[in-house]
Every structure is written in C-alpha cells, then in structure tokens.
Amino acid sequence: MAVQTWFITGSSRGFGRSLATAALEAGDQVVATARRPEQLAALAERFGDRVLPVALDVTDAAAAVAALDTARDRFGRVDVIVNNAGYANVAPVETARVDDFRRQFETNFWGVYNVSRAALPLLRAQGGGTVVQFSSVGGRVGGTAGLGSYQAAKFGIDGLTRVLAAETAPLGIRYLVVEPGGFATDWAGASMDVQAVPEEYRETVGAFADLVRGGGSAGDPDRAADILVRVVKREHLPGHLLLGGGAARMAVDHSRRQIAEAEAWRTVSGSADSGAEYPVELPADVA
C-alpha cells in the first residue's frame, strides 16, 4: 500500500501521540499538530522528515486552514484527517462555570468543525481521503453525570459527521467515528479539572469524580492506535468503531434498550399520523 499522509490534532499526548507514532511506525508520514509544537520534538527526532510538527489551536478556524495548507505544501496531499484534540472537565450542569462549559465545547465540537470544514476543499481537490473523528462511547450512550459539555459535544460530532458523510458521498471522502471507553491516557489526569461538587450532586457527579480520580482505565492507547492504523488502511470502513470491551458492552446494552423502548411505544408513535387510529392505549405505566 502506498505511503499515506496523516494530519492529527492533539498529537502531544494521549491518543494523538500514540496514533502519530503508530502511523509513523507503519511507514506513513504525519503532520502532528499541537498547541505547543515543541512537545513534538521527540517524534521529529525519532522519525526525521516523515513527521512535520505544526502549531494549531483547533478553536481558530483560520489556523486550521493554514495548518492544512502547510501539510499539503510539505507532502503534496493529506490522506487521513484525525480530529483527536479534546478534553473534559467535571461539574454539574447547574453549577458549572459557564465560561468553562463554553470553552470545552469550543474545543470538543467547534474544533472538530473547524478542521473538518477546512479539510473539505483539500480532500475534494485530491479526489478523496479519510476523516477520523474521535468521539467516545459517551457520545453514543451518554448520561455520564458531570460531563455535560463534553458529552453534548460528542453527540454533536456524531450528528455532524453523519451529515458530512451524506453530503460528500459522491466525492470519495470516507468517515470513521471512534468511540473509546476508558483508556490509560491523560484524559482524566492533569488535563481534567474537577470543579466543586455541591452536596446535592454528591451521589451523581461526586461519584463520577471519585471514579475518575481513582484511575484504573483498562484501555491501552498504543493498541488502540495500532488498530486504527490497520482499520483506516482497509477498503471498507465501519461507520463507528468502539474501542475497549467495556465500551462495546455499554453500546450493545444501550442499543437493546433503545429498540425495546421504540417497540413498546410503536403503536403510540404511529397514532400521531393523520388517518391512523386514535387514540390508542398507552403502554403500562411501570418502570
């Protein structure tokens, strides 16, 4: 297979760093972006001119365009766009600092939007490419107390990507939404701010804060990165890729509950149509 060029946001640590390393070890080229590109010096030293460190704040739309132009000028094309940059802080929605809630969304959703939108003209001009969007299993299942901004953004990424896939279907652009569970990265470490939890939210948000502070994530980011490199090189991609056994179990259980609920309320749903039988009996009012 021909050498591919990857453009990876948030390459200084975590999944981004593991993925950049895995792609380079596979013989590919990587444009590794970070807010502080000096953090990428070890990659450049190890892999030489096959890696191009680039400064990028994904919340800056003009900077995203400039970074992709730099990538194209250096390597001629970009085959794989990876929107990985993101972070989460923990707080109840009611008491979370509004400026912090917005800043998280700026990175976790608008950063993905900025890079994806900037990449489209490049991918169209070269006849295609692959866009990998990092979500999380929480972006499918949701409902994690304390992660209101983060999970809202991840749900938004999935919705945006589904629309992009429909709009660009004739253009040779492929999409993969990655949904990891708990992994041994810095996501729940120094990059996460756990804000004060009021007593009213002690049993919900507080319990989750205690869980993430306890560590013990099962996932190996290097293994996940190797899996992703191998998957991206396939001719046919899954639309979504869960990473981690726990994530797969959560997703399957969630889907089963969704199907069961839709089936239970199907007659009621259909009764809203003009000409359908109405009214109909509601399902039994039990949990």
Q: Is residue 36 part of a domain?
A: yes
- Residue 42: which residues within 8 A CB-CB, separation 6 or more? none
The backbone torsions φ and ψ at residue 255, rounded to the nearest 5 degrees and listed phi first, read -65, -40
Per-residue confidence (pLDDT) for residue 218, from 0 to 100:
78
- How many helices (H) does the chain have, and how many strands (E)? 10, 7
pLDDT at 189: 65
Evaluate whether residue 255 is within a structural domain. no
The residue from 11, 18, 116, 150 that is catalytic is: 150
The answer to whether residue 71 sits within a structural domain is: yes
The answer as to whether 257 is a domain residue is no
pLDDT at 212: 82
233 is catalytic: no
How many C-beta atoms lie closer than 10 Å to residue 266's C-beta?
11
**Cβ atoms of 23 and 78 closer than 8 Å:** no
Instruction: Report pLDDT digits (tens) over 35-77.
Output: 999 999 999 999 999 999 999 999 999 999 999 999 999 999 9
Two tokens at 124?
């169209």
Whether the CA torsion 51, 231, 161, 157 is positive or negative: it is negative
User: What range defines the domain where residue 51 resides?
Assistant: 5-243
Domains held by the chain: number: 1
Residues 6+ apart with CB under 8 A from 3: 27, 28, 29
Residue 281 inside a domain? The answer is: no
Active site residue 175: no
pLDDT, position 287: 83
Tokens 């896939």 — which residue?
165
User: Which segments in the chain show pLDDT lower than 50?
Assistant: none
Helix (H) or strand (E) segment spanning residue 174: strand 173-180
Say if 259 falls within a structural domain.
no
Does some domain include residue 277?
no
Catalytic option among 12, 116, 135, 217: 135
Q: What's the pLDDT tens digit per position in 215-234?
A: 666 789 999 999 999 999 99
Do the domain assignments include residue 250?
A: no
Q: What's the rounded Cα separation, in Å, for the pair 218 and 285?
A: 39
Q: Which of 45, 63, 72, 67 is nearest to 54 (CA)?
A: 67
Q: Which of the following is catalytic: 154, 175, 201, 217? A: 154
Residues 6+ apart with CB under 8 A from 273: none
Counting Cα atoms < 13 Å in the Cβ hemisphere of 152 gives 15
**What pLDDT sits at residue 182?**
87
Query: What CATH number corresponds to the domain at position 86?
Result: 3.40.50.720
DSSP 177: E
